[in-house]
Chains A and B, each alone.
Chain A
Amino acid sequence: MRSRFLLLALFLVAACSSTDADEAKQVATGQDTGAAAAAGGLPSMRTTPSRPSGFDQGGLQPVESARQLTEAGADRVYFAFDSYDLDAQARGIIERQARLLTTQGTINVTIEGHCDERGTREYNIALGERRASAVRDYLIALGVAPNRLRVVSYGEERPAAIGSNEDAWAQNRRAVTVVMGAAAGS
């Protein structure tokens, strides 16, 4: 959970440090970089676990950051029922994630796919993987090296919201990008 806050904190840093125009430019740059990275030797892209540079972890105020970042929702995208399509809002969030990942080269992430409770358990594991893979594929298209991205599906086993109603289901149909490992610091 702490590493999730960290990723969100990084998004805030990225968001604060650039204008909209700059962001658009960075996305485009990121795509180019990604193509180059994919063409070049992927093994060189693997990062060694170390404290990420570019921000002062001690300067964060965890509780406040967590609140702001939850509002921002920068770590997760949502899906329609039985769908893995990325809508415009989801693409915007993934573009911000890509920007962070391309500027923070030492961070590896796991993308967790989740579902609501209205499918069978086994189908939902497949659907969750499909949602997480949709996010991963877009991150790769935006220039993030594939070997920094891991995909896992929890199906319907880790709901974000509890309740058998459309509100909760909508919050549970999601893919969450989580910073992994020692690279995120602790």
Chain B
Amino acid sequence: MRDAVWRRLQAMIGAVALALVVVAGLPAAADLRIDITRGVVEPLPIVILPFPSAGGDQASDVGTEITNVIAADLERSGLFKPLDPRPLSVSQPSLDTLPMFANWRLVNTQALVHGRTTALPDGRLKIEFRLWDVFAEQEMLGRAYSTPAGNWRRIAHVIADAIYKRITGEDGYFDTRIAYIAESGPRSRRTKRLAIMDQDGANHQFLTEGNNLVLTPRFSPSSQDIAYLRYADSQPRVHIRNLTTRADEALAGIAEITFAPRYAPDGERLIVSMAVDGNTDIYTYDLSDHTRRRLTTTSGIDTSASYSPDGRQIAFNSDRGGSLQLYVMDADGSSVRRISRGDGRYATPVWSPRGDLIAFTKTQGGQFHIGVMRPDGSGERLLAQGFRVEGPAWAPNGRVILFFRQEPALNDAQGGRSRLFTVDLTGQNERELVTPLDASDPAWSPLRP
């Protein structure tokens, strides 16, 4: 059996610069693991059995839906290949007994998830699962959750995050939400609404009515607030929407054109751009005492600022050197240095939550690109391109980038569609994130508290 595993492994490693490290049948110290730090990964075959019910029929349906959500999350990551369990499972293993590992090995399943749901007397739902390494015949993870019955979707995402983390060693990003701008109507006068949904597109809702033009939502570190640009009375101002109370207010004490908001990592300040007398500069805005502090003073356009996750540095774009390029400065505005070096125009730098990379939008030769580079400007890689791609937003684990892609417009009614896509850092796993209407300016929340 061990020889067979190794032959299969070697075949997998073959052509691809490979990172899947399956250590089946080896001593317990090494276990099933995907190393996502090393380029293209062959998806890991995993079976997620429908969670049967220990209670009524309703809990049973929920169990199937939970497993569907988990499988969809893992599949979209590009790191897992969920196998349809139906033709494979003659009899489902109870959560309290060992799976029939030999059977699962016959169909090359390397990881197995089973679980169950139980309707509790108080109306809540108990959800339990175990993750198994099929070749090592070892349990990798086992957890139980009790939750209001209507909350099963979140628990499914939490379980997907737990599986992702156990196998990759990195935090997941499935129990998160996406805010974005939903677009409708003719191109000449688009209706744009602030909208929010789960990371997989579920629980979609609109947060604004479409009377005012809105743009560029950004989550607070607590994911409870969204800072965004709103044209109220034709005045472009940064507003903050509280997702719990639905309170929505413009930043106090600001009479200038203000845009491009992002939160500082501590959540106590925003960084914004203000346009005054034809000159756009970057300011911090203290959310408690409403004071502002100017960080840039050049006569060029300085905008699209983004903090490093430790709060010590700020990336931004500026045309101070004649063309639009990326710069990094210390958080007090000192030590400004240009980091982009290639041909073309660079814009909207967004610092990865891991701190290791900066995502950006690049225009060159009539094409737009989404790319990443290290904070010192080295290692530039382009991950996605198109007539127009813009607005990179990081998954909280810094492994996936969300952006929007707009097609060329033919006339007021045709073409110009705008949609959301995700791509991982390999550039190989690009997926559309389907939205009810056209979509742009995505923001990705941190893992929910």
Residues of A within 8 A of B (CB): 84, 110, 117-123, 125-127, 129-130, 133-134, 137, 151-154, 157-160, 162-164, 168
Q: Which residues of A contact B257 (CB under 8 A)?
A: 125, 129, 151-153
The answer to whether B280 touches A152, judged by C-beta atoms less than 8 angstroms apart, is: no
Which of chain B's residues 395-435 have a Cβ closer than 8 Å to chain A?
406, 408-412, 415-416
Q: Which residues of B contact A134 (CB under 8 A)?
A: 278
Assembly CA distance A133 to B257 (angstroms): 12
Decide if B215 is an interface residue (CB 8 Å cutoff). Answer: yes
The answer to whether A120 touches B347, judged by C-beta atoms less than 8 angstroms apart, is: yes
The answer to whether A120 touches B304, judged by C-beta atoms less than 8 angstroms apart, is: yes
The answer to whether A126 touches B409, judged by C-beta atoms less than 8 angstroms apart, is: no
Expressed in whole angstroms, the minimum distance between the Cβ of B363 and any Cβ of chain A is 7
Which of chain B's residues 239-282 have a Cβ closer than 8 Å to chain A?
257, 259-260, 273, 275, 277-280
The answer to whether A110 touches B234, judged by C-beta atoms less than 8 angstroms apart, is: yes
Residue from A119, A152, A162, A164 in contact with B234 in the complex, judged by beta carbons closer than 8 Å: A152
Decide if B109 is an interface residue (CB 8 Å cutoff). Answer: no
User: With A119-B347, A120-B361, A133-B277 in contact, is A125–B259 under 8 Å at CB?
Assistant: yes
Which interface residue of B257, B259, B415 has the most chain A CB atoms within 10 A? Answer: B257
Decide if B216 is an interface residue (CB 8 Å cutoff). Answer: yes
Q: Which residues of A contact B236 (CB under 8 A)?
A: 125, 152-153
Assembly CA distance A130 to B411 (angstroms): 28
User: Interface residues of B toward A: which range?
Assistant: 35 or more
Interface string of B179-215 (1 = CB under 8 A from A): 0000000111110100000000000000000000101
Residue from B186, B234, B391 in contact with A121 in the complex, judged by beta carbons closer than 8 Å: B391
Assembly CA distance A129 to B303 (angstroms): 13
Expressed in whole angstroms, the minimum distance between the Cβ of A124 and any Cβ of chain B is 10
Decide if B390 is an interface residue (CB 8 Å cutoff). Answer: yes
The answer to whether A164 touches B416, judged by C-beta atoms less than 8 angstroms apart, is: yes
User: With A110-B234, A153-B257 in contact, is A123–B278 under 8 Å at CB?
Assistant: no
Residue from B235, B408, B411, B416 in contact with A152 in the complex, judged by beta carbons closer than 8 Å: B235
Residues of B within 8 A of A (CB): 186-190, 192, 213, 215-216, 229, 231, 234-236, 257, 259-260, 273, 275, 277-280, 301, 303-304, 317, 324, 345, 347-348, 361, 363, 387-388, 390-391, 406, 408-412, 415-416, 441
The answer to whether A117 touches B188, judged by C-beta atoms less than 8 angstroms apart, is: no
Interface SS of chain B: strand
Q: What are 28 A-B contacts defined by CB distance under 8 Å?
A: A110-B234, A117-B409, A120-B390, A121-B390, A121-B441, A122-B260, A122-B304, A123-B304, A123-B324, A125-B229, A125-B275, A125-B303, A127-B301, A129-B278, A130-B279, A133-B278, A151-B257, A152-B235, A153-B275, A154-B213, A157-B213, A157-B215, A158-B189, A159-B188, A162-B409, A162-B416, A164-B387, A164-B408
Q: Which residues of B contact A168 (CB under 8 A)?
A: 409
Which A residue's beta carbon lies closest to that of B363? A118
Q: Which residues of A contact B234 (CB under 8 A)?
A: 110, 152
The answer to whether B259 touches A122, judged by C-beta atoms less than 8 angstroms apart, is: yes
Q: Which residues of B contact A160 (CB under 8 A)?
A: 188
The answer to whether A117 touches B275, judged by C-beta atoms less than 8 angstroms apart, is: no
Q: Which residues of A contact B406 (CB under 8 A)?
A: 117
Q: Which residues of A contact B388 (CB under 8 A)?
A: 117
The answer to whether A122 touches B303, judged by C-beta atoms less than 8 angstroms apart, is: yes
The answer to whether B301 touches A157, judged by C-beta atoms less than 8 angstroms apart, is: no
Assembly CA distance A162 to B348 (angstroms): 25
The answer to whether B415 touches A120, judged by C-beta atoms less than 8 angstroms apart, is: no
User: With A120-B361, A121-B391, A158-B189 in contact, is A163–B275 under 8 Å at CB?
Assistant: no
Expressed in whole angstroms, the minimum distance between the Cβ of A135 and any Cβ of chain B is 10
The answer to whether B409 touches A122, judged by C-beta atoms less than 8 angstroms apart, is: no
The answer to whether B280 touches A126, judged by C-beta atoms less than 8 angstroms apart, is: yes
Which interface residue of B187, B278, B347 has the most chain A CB atoms within 10 A? Answer: B278
The answer to whether A126 touches B348, judged by C-beta atoms less than 8 angstroms apart, is: no
Q: Which residues of A contact B235 (CB under 8 A)?
A: 152
Assembly CA distance A88 to B153 (angstroms): 62
